[in-house]
Amino acid sequence: MGVAGKHYPPHANPQQDSAEVTDKMKPADERVRQTSWFGHLLNRPEFAAISGTVLVFIVFGFGAGSSGMFNLDGVINWSQVAVYLGILAVDACLLMIAGEFDLSIVSIMFADRTIISGVGDLAQADPVSNALFHGVAFHGLFTSLAHMGIGKLLDSGEPLVPGIPKVILWWLAMAAVCTFVLAKTRYGNWILAVGGDANTAKNVGVPVKRVKIALFVLTAFCSCLFVVLQVCDIGSTAADRGLQKKFEAIIAAIIGRTLLTGGYGSVVGTCFGTLIFGVVQIGITYTNVSSDWFRVFLSVMLLIAVLFNHYVCRRVSQAQ
């Protein structure tokens, strides 16, 4: 007979204890690679471009912060330079991810200018083209802000910055759509697959030719949009306004960490690359530095981007 109220421990299970000890001593699965948070950031395509943008803003914040560069009119000034290039660079990014280049941008832009300059007066009288391309957006809002003291007023009572140029809205729309397509759709996966290995992509059913043709058509559309917005903004056309844009768009994509070999890149990083381009090009005029240094700075940024992209390729090959 047992003693009432006395507690006896349960019987131990040797097999269960042995299994628990074995699980604790089992090493981590070697197929699962542990990555630090900094390594995860380095693997993001847009990390280098965002870091470069922050650095450029810090440099010009100290060097030209008191010159009005970051006032509302100054921000609109260098933003327009960045977004005009950004319209071309977004498509250049997608085309480079697919492993292709298009150096015919200038020729397309020249043909577009010849056509658009001939119908410019007719388009200006069209209410649809006026709503989409001419003038600025949110004029009433900026007028109210200027009367509240947030912006500057001219002697005529109009604000110095009448609104947001429509080229900025077009660039934001294109960047958002292309980012979504590349990251969230099947077509974006096709673009990455075609740039990674076109033969393998073709063998698994990806329409390689159709993807590339669509991207070249997008290049023509972006070039035409660039010309339409520029003619509507400036009011005239000149062939030299598109000079070197094909190389500048590719440079902006490379600064945004789009690989020259294809299969890797980011539309967001390219957008930050164009922002660096616009800030440096206009920011130098707000300082006492000669504008000739702009090309030097751009060359240094390109060299750093290429070296960083080479480092990423080496990391990827080692991981495989």
For 11-31, how does the pLDDT look when each residue is reduced to its tens digit (9 = 90+)?
A: 555 555 554 544 444 445 445
Within a domain: 34: no
Would you give the DSSP letter of residue 164? E
Q: What is the pLDDT of residue 116?
A: 59
Average the pLDDT over 218-231 and give the result.
85
Residue 40 lies in a domain: no
What per-residue confidence (pLDDT) applies to 21? 46
Q: Under a CB-based contact definition with an 8 Å cutoff, are residues 217 and 103 in contact?
A: no
Indicate whether 16 belongs to any domain: no
Q: Counting Cβ atoms within 10 Å, is residue 34 exposed (0-12), middle (13-18) or buried (19+)?
A: exposed
Looking at residue 106, its pLDDT comes to: 61
Task: With respect to residue 119, please indicate whether it lies within any of the assigned structural domains.
Answer: yes
Say whether pLDDT at 214 is over 90. yes
- Count CB-CB contacts under 10 A for residue 213: 11
Is residue 152 included in any domain, yes or no?
A: no
Range of the domain at 255: 47-136+165-319
Question: Which stretches does DSSP call E strand in 107-172?
Answer: 136-137, 164-165
33 lies in a domain?
no
Of 133-137, 186-190, 216-220, the range with the lowest mean pLDDT is: 133-137
* Average pLDDT score over the chain: 77
Give residue 142's pLDDT: 81
183, containing H or E segment: helix 166-184
Q: What total of structural domains would you count in the chain?
A: 1
Quick one: the chain helix, strand, coil %, rounded to 5? 70, 0, 30
Number of H helices, E strands in the chain: 15, 2
Q: 176 near 193, Cβ under 8 Å?
A: no
Q: Is residue 29 part of a domain?
A: no
Higher pLDDT, 309 or 256: 256
Q: What SS3 class is residue 1?
A: coil
DSSP state of 153: B
Of the two residues 134 and 14, the one the predictor is more confident about is: 134
* Maximum mean pLDDT: which of 52-61, 140-149, 304-313: 52-61
Report if residue 146 sits inside a domain.
no
Model confidence at 1: pLDDT above 50: no
Q: Which residues pair with 164 in a beta bridge?
A: 137
Nearest to 76 by CA among 130, 123, 138: 138
Query: Could you tell me if 219 and 246 are in contact, meaning their C-beta atoms sit under 8 angstroms apart?
Result: no
More confident residue, 310 or 186: 186
pLDDT over 60 (residue 240)? yes
Give helix 293-319 / helix 245-255 axis angle, nearest 10°.
50
